[in-house]
């Protein structure tokens, strides 16, 4: 059977959250979809999904619509339906313990304090899958972390994170076509320390479907998420999340 890699971006559905720090996982999946011509507009397994190929390799892109804290319910349904080993799963999400613009790729590991990843690991009963963490920076002193991650990016911060999102999309493609080790060696760290040999996926950095990250529309189908998920998403009381990992 042909190998399938599942790439999941974590975030919260709807217009209210689409441009927030907590939704960089969704933004990265949207960029991958735009680059490789994959429409992520099918609502299945409580996620917006789309199938396609990255340099000939079969992939499924997914953006769970359950709200962050319940992401694992959707991810488990997807993994079980397609009967893929967890090693074929890539999860992309924000990390407030990394400086804005820093990328961290790992082949496995704990959830740290990120509630979305806690849910994913709990429902899969495994942490042995690759993850790509996008640094959004620490909350300013005196700020509640939930308020911070559910806030939008400022100007200079937005530029750094937009670049990090482009590199995260490139890294996901390298994991699919090569290996997580290769992606780690090329992309871990910030853009200024990135290895010069970035390979065939570097044209992603010149293709930014979001423009101003603060105006991100969060949906590759041409519709707003808030119009698509409807009753299939968990009722959206304001999620309270932390987001860090060692």
Question: How far is the CA of 146 from the CAs of 104, 129, 197, 243, in angstroms?
Answer: 22, 26, 37, 9
Model-level pTM?
0.82
The whole-number pLDDT of residue 193 equals 52
Residue 186 structure tokens: 């090329």
Query: Does any domain span residue 245?
Result: no
Catalytically annotated residues: 22
In a domain, 145, yes or no: yes
Asked whether residue 244 is domain-assigned, the answer is no
**Range of the structural domain that residue 219 is part of:** 5-228
Total number of domains constituting the chain:
1
Q: Is 227 helix (H, G, I), strand (E, B) or coil?
A: helix
| CA distances for 89 relative to 9, 20, 131, 144, 172, angstroms | 11, 24, 8, 31, 10
Q: Is 237 within a domain? A: no
44 contacts: CB under 8 Å, gap ≥ 6? none
Give the Cβ contact number of residue 119 at 10 Å: 24
> For residue 174, is it within any domain?
yes
Tens digit of each residue's pLDDT, the chain (246 residues): 799 999 999 999 999 999 999 999 999 999 999 999 999 999 999 999 999 999 999 999 999 999 999 999 999 999 999 999 999 999 999 998 899 999 999 999 988 779 999 999 999 999 999 999 999 998 888 888 888 899 999 878 899 999 999 999 999 999 999 999 999 999 998 865 554 444 455 555 444 444 455 445 444 443 333 333 333 333 333 444 444 444
89 domain-assigned = yes
pLDDT for the residue 201 = 59
CATH number for the domain spanning 55: value is 3.40.50.1470
Is 235 a domain residue? no
Residue 202 located in a structural domain: yes
Among the listed residues 28, 220, 63, 238, the one whose alpha carbon sits nearest the alpha carbon of residue 135 = 28
Distances (CA, A) of 159 to 55, 96, 172: 28, 16, 20
């Amino acid at each position: 059977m042909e190998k399938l890699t599942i790439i999941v971006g974590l975030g919260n559905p709807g217009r209210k959250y689409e441009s927030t720090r907590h939704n960089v996982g969704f933004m990265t999946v949207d960029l991958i979809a735009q680059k490789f011509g994959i429409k992520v507009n099918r609502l299945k397994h409580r996620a917006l999904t789309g199938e396609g190929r990255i340099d000939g390799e079969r992939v499924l892109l997914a953006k769970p619509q359950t709200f962050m804290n319940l992401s694992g319910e959707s991810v488990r349904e997807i993994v079980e339906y397609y009967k893929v080993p967890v090693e074929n799963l890539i999860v992309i999400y924000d990390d407030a313990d990394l400086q804005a613009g820093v990328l961290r790729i790992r082949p496995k590991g704990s959830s740290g304090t990120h509630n979305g990843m806690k849910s994913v690991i709990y429902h899969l009963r495994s942490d042995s899958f690759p993850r790509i963490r996008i640094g959004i920076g620490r909350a300013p002193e005196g700020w509640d972390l939930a308020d911070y991650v559910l806030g939008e990016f400022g100007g200079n911060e937005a530029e750094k994170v937009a670049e990090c999102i482009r590199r995260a999309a490139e890294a996901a493609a390298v994991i699919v076509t090569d290996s997580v080790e290769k992606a780690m060696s090329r992309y871990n760290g910030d853009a200024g320390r990135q290895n010069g040999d970035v390979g065939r996926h570097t044209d992603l950095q010149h293709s930014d479907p979001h423009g101003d990250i603060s105006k991100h529309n969060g949906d590759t189908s041409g519709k707003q998420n808030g119009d698509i998920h409807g009753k299939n998403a968990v009722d959206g009381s304001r999620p309270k999340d932390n987001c860090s990992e060692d």
